[in-house]
Amino acid sequence: MKLVVTLLILTFLISASAKKKVRARIAGGYRVQPYTMTYLVGILFAKSHQSKIELGAGTIISNQWVITVRDVLIYEFIEVHFGSRRPWWGYRRKRVYSQNFYLHYDKNRTLALVKVPYQKFDERLDRVRIPPYKDWRNRYLGYRTAICGWGNGKVGDKAPDWLRCAVVAPISNKECAKYYPPLQYYEMCTSGVDNKGVCEGDVGGSVVSLVGKMTLIGVINLRPDNCSGGWPSIHIRINDHLLWIKSVSGVSY
């Protein structure tokens, strides 16, 4: 009950402060224009009934399925905000309980699916395609790619007001290993050139190829300690989970 009250208070306090000027969030990014990136959802979550409310994100892949990471699925329910550039002021809002959380069977992988009430798509709300199985070997290296979320501009910064994206390019895991320990094959990196990258609050957000049809190629999995230091950002690769996604949700192309 305490968490329910806290969610209501948080929504009121954040909306009351919406007129305040805020800093850039996704490091090096831009504020998203209305009726674009309509596949992103804001997720309010907590770690317990006594902990603070935190911000995360997810991506709509069908009328009833959102893909995200297990890090935002800790408590007995989450609040999903659809069709808004604000993570807490959705065009539609739904509370989704843990019986609708589907975590990957390998606990080392953070990818997760959430079954949500059926959503009718319109100009405010739509899905983004996942890759077709025939492209499962494609690593999209060098593709023009958008990373989007509601993350802070730096670690410890205040909660964001608006959805932000940055245009980056995926790099090879070999190149990424110059900055981090070797990655798992199911992980991927996007370049940190021009200090573009993800930060706190972006977790669960989308990594979408802009070449041809917009395609979800990754899910943000926060790793950098210094969000604006030019280091690559690490994500979970969608191509290496296509069979699992289909087995759980039935979504495939």
Sign of the Cα torsion 151, 154, 155, 160 reads negative
The model's confidence at residue 104, banded by pLDDT at 50, 70 and 90, is: very high
Domains of the chain by residue range: 133-240
Assigned architecture for domain 133-240: Beta Barrel (2.40)
Helix H or strand E segment including 249: helix 242-249
Tell me, what's the pLDDT at 244? Answer: 98
CA 104, 145, 152, 201: dihedral to nearest 10 degrees?
-20
pLDDT value for 250? 98
Over range 1-24, report the average pLDDT: 37
Question: Scanning the structure block, which residue is given the tokens 């949500």?
Answer: 116
Confidence label for 233 from pLDDT (cuts 50, 70 and 90): very high
Token pair recorded at residue 184: 């798992």
Strands 30-31 and 65-69: unpaired
Closest to 73 measured CA to CA, from 96, 91, 39: 96
Exposed e or buried b for every residue in 139-149, given b needs 16+ CB within 10 A?
ebeebebbbbb
Give the Cα separation of 57 and 180 in Å (integer): 24
What is the mean pLDDT of the segment spanning 114-130?
A: 97
Quick: pLDDT tens for 143-182: 999 999 887 665 556 656 789 899 999 999 999 999 888 8
